[in-house]
Amino acid sequence: MLKHLSDTGRHEKINALIKRSEAATTISVSGWASLEKEFGEEIYSEALYQLTRLELSPPRAKICVNDILVHQAELADRLSRPVGLLTAVCDYFQYVKPMLNEPVLVEVRLLLQKEEGAYKDELTGLFNRRYFNIELTREMERYRRFGHPFSLLMIDVDHFKRVNDKHGHLAGDQALRTLAGILNQSARLCDRAARFGGEEFTVILPQSCREEALIAAERIRAEVARTPVVYEGANLGPITVSVGVATYPADALDCAQLLRRADEALYQAKRKRNHVAAFRDPKRQHPRYPIDSQLSLSLPGGRGGNLVCRAKNISFGGLLCETDSGAPANSDVEVTLTDRDKNLHLAMRAQVRRMHKIEGNRFFLGLSFELPTAEEQTRLTEFIQGLSQVTH
């Protein structure tokens, strides 16, 4: 997995530790611990990737780094001279825990040039679809760790065929390069812009909700619309783009679904052209997911007892359940969703928004979730993902 080298602070601190080790003796465990405290266990995976190009999970990488530090000290003691981190890493992965069968010495600059070529689009200089797929998966993993939502922009050039037909394909290439330049200028350091294919582009916006993503998308749309395409000294005028916006996890549970949601939003935007649209479920604000009939719901009654219900469907906004007893509208409840067969469990606060009597003495209750913390949002995401995995 290509690591996100544009994350400047993290990358510089890793390099500083590595260089300090090579120039002096060993780095103490506390040096890595301080990085872990700031960036999480992922720092160990990134460090070993930079040193070896081995792809290890954060917990496994942490064990290896700590073992390497011990091994580095032992080598220095045996040789009676300082031993650099790179030397210790190479020896460790060759003889202590063999994972590098035939290591090759290569200049870092040349290695990065090769990797950059593999993940960069030749025409625009943006990242390519291969890199985009890696980073989208990585951003979802980051959500599971930290609970920060993120958004995806799908961008398509309006009437691009007309540009090629009128001015030629080389002028069309220049139009794409102009758009790529705007995406680079508009992006934050943590954003990742990529050419998805043809005249379609994507931007991953970490830690961005739907509203923030819409602002970013509108900024891009407006900048493109006022920036002329200049080809061979001639001003061809500006192009326009349509932008679709989808947000994880509110709109989707996995990479493929998030792409579909963003593409659906793009389709809505292209009906108007030069427009931005966010994904919206035509019936509800949040997509709903069916719950297996064996899943049960319990919530405290007015006298402190439990009101046993049957869950029908769930979304990131709330829950629909069926029960043989009513509950007062706007009453606060404690909700516990469990399915022992599938090892699913979730407890959270909610509020009764509506009650509808159905046949016999049974009722439908509509509950809205209260999720004030990132931890609770993450737990709900994982719960719905669990349901999705066992029903598909």
pLDDT digits (tens, 9 = 90+) for 268-306: 999 999 999 999 865 555 666 777 544 455 555 444 456
Give the integer Cα–Cα distance in Å for 128 and 133.
9
Tens-digit pLDDT profile for residues 306-365: 677 777 788 777 888 888 777 777 777 777 777 666 666 777 788 888 887 777 778 888
Tens-digit pLDDT profile for residues 90-103: 889 988 888 887 77
Of the two residues 301 and 85, the one the predictor is more confident about is 85
- Output the CA–CA distances (angstroms, integers) from residue 102 to 1, 90, 93, 94, 96, in the order listed: 20, 10, 10, 8, 15
Under the banding of pLDDT at 50, 70 and 90, the label for residue 13 is low
Q: Is the separation of the CB atoms in 132 and 202 below 8 Å?
A: yes
Nearest to residue 4, comparing CAs of 173, 193, 147?
Answer: 193
Using the structure block, give the residue that is written with the tokens 């108007």.
Answer: 272
DSSP letter (8 states) at residue 94: I
Is a pLDDT exceeding 80 seen at residue 371? no
- Output the CA–CA distances (angstroms, integers) from residue 240 to 99, 160, 215, 330, in the order listed: 50, 9, 17, 47
Delimiting residues of CATH 3.30.70.270 domain(s) in the chain: 120-278
The CATH number given to 120-278 is 3.30.70.270
Q: Is 212 a catalytic residue?
A: no
Is a pLDDT exceeding 50 seen at residue 376? yes
Q: What is the pLDDT of residue 107?
A: 64
Q: What is the pLDDT of residue 294?
A: 46
Phi, psi of 136 (to 5 degrees): -65, -45
Tens-digit pLDDT profile for residues 115-163: 566 788 999 999 999 989 988 988 887 787 677 789 999 999 999 999 9
Give the integer Cα–Cα distance in Å for 246 and 249.
9
Q: Quick one: residue 153, left, alpha or beta (phi over 0 = left, psi -120 to 50 = alpha)?
A: beta
Delimiting residues of CATH 2.40.10.220 domain(s) in the chain: 289-391
- Output the CA–CA distances (angstroms, integers) from residue 389 to 226, 253, 259, 344, 381, in the order listed: 46, 10, 18, 11, 12
Entry pTM: 0.60
The CATH number given to 289-391 is 2.40.10.220
Which residue among the candidates 42, 135, 139, 199 is catalytic per the annotation?
Answer: 199
* Count of beta carbons in the 10 Å neighbourhood of residue 268: 16
Q: What is the pLDDT of residue 235?
A: 95
Phi, psi of 375 (to 5 degrees): -60, -45
